[in-house]
Chains A and B, each alone.
Chain A
Amino acid sequence: MRDAIGVHVRGVSHKFAGANVIDHADVQVKPGGFLAIVGDSGGGKTTLLRLIGGLIAPSSGEIVFMAGGESDSQSDHAPRGQSAVAAAQANAISFCFQEGRLLPWRNVLQNVALPLELNGVSAQERHTAAREMLAKMQLSDSEHKMPAQLSGGMRMRVAMARALVTRPKLLLLDEPFGALDEVTRLALDEELRQLWQQTGTTAILVTHSIQEAVSLAQQVVVMRGKPGRTLPAIVIDVPKDAAHRTSMPFVALCERVYQQMTMQTNEVVEVTR
């Protein structure tokens, strides 16, 4: 798919202040794929996302990026990988955070244009690009509003527009809708799913909502324990239409994820083997 990049996390461990936060995490997502990582708070999900995004470096293990177009087997044998930092610097990676992290003194347009501005894109070009993005998300009317004038849901949509304005090859979402009410959250889930399809970017979503994970992703990885360990990915093979959240296969998949999250530790070891 287009020029999205895949990610292969291999045996990554991370120590913080002497203690292991993540222990031998293994995660893989194909170029253009959608992966969700679920688990309870403090389980290292966010840390794993930050490792993938190059914000922090792993204590051990490796994170490899694979360009699209290559077949899976090829990249498995000889990954033409990039380091996390290099990929981020090429603007291949974008983040979307829970609180939105908008600059309160800038209006919507200036906030969306920020990533381009910081990379030296001229005012005219970056505003054109930002307006295009806003139009795509039906935010054009709010162009001149300040973040304080927006609802929580609107703020998140602006944050998503900002994350996508650089046309990222990999989009990392850290609990993006965790603070929103249920109705807004469902609407934004659907919007995110459509944006992912339209842009063809690879997406990795960290969430504590099983339903959100199963309804959006192609694969769900459960992360649990202290230090956090990843369980083998669950492939989500239900159709992604609006009514699927109540379908039997959807409920069954949610149940599987739930079981992985709640089973006893000795069973986890078995599954991991």
Chain B
Amino acid sequence: MKNILRVALPPIFTAIALLVVWEIAVMVFKPAAYLLPSPLMILRAANVDSRQLLQATLSTAISAGLGFIIAAVVGMTCASVLSQSKFLQRGLYPLASLFQMVPLVAIAPLLVIWFGYGLSATVASAAIVAVFPVLANTLDGLRSTDPALRELFHIYNANRFTRWWKLELPSATPNIVTGLRIAAGLAVIGTVVGEFVSGYAGEDAPLGMVVLASMRGARTDLVFAAVALSAAVGFVLFGAVSFLGWLSLRKWHASTLIH
């Protein structure tokens, strides 16, 4: 508990200090509300529209969560298949890297064409950006399995599947956790980008749509509120993944030690 506080308190204090400075700056300089609302103004606006904002947060969280899960499963599966074949690796991995270079914003409209307006397009958008870090990190981890341990498995006649399941995958866990943590943040970004182009109005409009609509209505306070909430979704997803990673590594891996 003491350790957790030592890690958590400094950033919390820093954040509070920044908000106070922001609040004071707005009180002193009095910028127009549509340019820069103060933290308290944002909080008040969020409170008024809390029902809609919570609904939007839920929509975005569902889309980011689903996109993340798809990215995790697809990324780890593809990496596992690629790790078993040098041939496939040479042929496919460079293409996967290239695919990563395509700007998501540019292909988002395509996703709308393929998946229509709504959840499936935003999930696809989240999965597409989040899949590569999972794939790349998992593959790195699988490939850097200690050759001495591979030899040990060879001595005891382990087949390929056993070697993958009982040796390569556990030894790649630190890399997989790293990949998943990066993917958690990216999944939220992918979702919001997807929502910008394919979002849907109405009761369950997601945060991306709230941002667009509030911007058009010059409701900068609501834009800030939606941005903060989408960051919170990312933070929760990241935190959950980090916690699961810590659970799976705490017994043996140096990265889990709190310094």
- The complex places the Cα of A119 from the Cα of B162 at a distance, in Å, of 10
- In the complex, are the beta carbons of A55 and B251 less than 8 A apart? no
Given A101-B148, A105-B251, A146-B252: A55 in contact with B154 (beta carbons within 8 A): yes
Number of residues of chain A lying within 8 A (CB) of chain B: 22
- The complex places the Cα of A103 from the Cα of B171 at a distance, in Å, of 9
Which residues of A in the span 80-129 have a Cβ within 8 Å of any Cβ on B? 88-89, 91, 93-95, 97, 99, 101, 103-105, 114-115, 117-119
Q: Of B151, B154, B156, B252, which contacts A104 at CB under 8 A? A: B252
Which residues of B in the span 129-158 have a Cβ within 8 Å of any Cβ on A? 146, 148-149, 151-158
CB < 8 Å A-B pair total: 46
In the complex, what's the smallest C-beta–C-beta distance from B245 to chain A, in angstroms? 13
Given A104-B252, A105-B170, A147-B252: A97 in contact with B148 (beta carbons within 8 A): yes
Asked whether any CB of chain A lies closer than 8 Å to the CB of B167, the reply is yes
Q: Of B153, B162, B251, which contacts A146 at CB under 8 A? A: B251
In the complex, what's the smallest C-beta–C-beta distance from A98 to chain B, in angstroms? 10
Given A118-B157, A148-B252: A103 in contact with B148 (beta carbons within 8 A): no
In the complex, what's the smallest C-beta–C-beta distance from A172 to chain B, in angstroms? 10
Q: Of A97, A105, A115, A118, which contacts B173 at CB under 8 A? A: A105
- In the complex, are the beta carbons of A103 and B170 less than 8 A apart? yes
Asked whether any CB of chain B lies closer than 8 Å to the CB of A200, the reply is no
- In the complex, are the beta carbons of A89 and B157 less than 8 A apart? yes
Closest to B155 in A: A95
- In the complex, are the beta carbons of B157 and A119 less than 8 A apart? yes
- In the complex, are the beta carbons of A55 and B252 less than 8 A apart? no
Q: Of A55, A103, A105, which contacts B155 at CB under 8 A? A: A55
In the complex, chain B residues whose CB is within 8 Å of the CB of A101: 146, 148-149, 152
In the complex, chain A residues whose CB is within 8 Å of the CB of B149: 101, 103
- In the complex, are the beta carbons of A105 and B252 less than 8 A apart? yes
In the complex, what's the smallest C-beta–C-beta distance from B247 to chain A, in angstroms? 13
Closest to B173 in A: A105
- The complex places the Cα of A88 from the Cα of B156 at a distance, in Å, of 8
Query: Per-residue CB proximity of B165-179 to A under 8 Å, as 1/0?
Result: 011001101000000
In the complex, chain A residues whose CB is within 8 Å of the CB of B170: 103, 105
Given A103-B167, A105-B170, A105-B173: A118 in contact with B251 (beta carbons within 8 A): no
Closest to A118 in B: B156
In the complex, what's the smallest C-beta–C-beta distance from A117 to chain B, in angstroms? 8
In the complex, chain B residues whose CB is within 8 Å of the CB of A146: 251-252
In the complex, what's the smallest C-beta–C-beta distance from B171 to chain A, in angstroms? 8
In the complex, chain A residues whose CB is within 8 Å of the CB of B156: 91, 114-115, 118-119
- The complex places the Cα of A95 from the Cα of B157 at a distance, in Å, of 13
Asked whether any CB of chain B lies closer than 8 Å to the CB of A31, the reply is no
Chain A positions within 8 Å of B, measured between CB atoms, are: 53, 55, 88-89, 91, 93-95, 97, 99, 101, 103-105, 114-115, 117-119, 146-148
Chosen A-B contacts, 7 in total, with CB atoms closer than 8 Å, are A55-B154, A89-B157, A101-B146, A103-B167, A104-B252, A115-B156, A118-B157
Other than the given A91-B156, A95-B152, 4 more pairs (CB < 8 A) read A89-B157, A91-B157, A95-B155, A146-B251
Please give me the 9 A-B residue pairs with the lowest Cβ-Cβ distance, nearest first: A118-B156, A104-B252, A118-B158, A115-B156, A105-B252, A105-B170, A101-B152, A146-B252, A101-B148
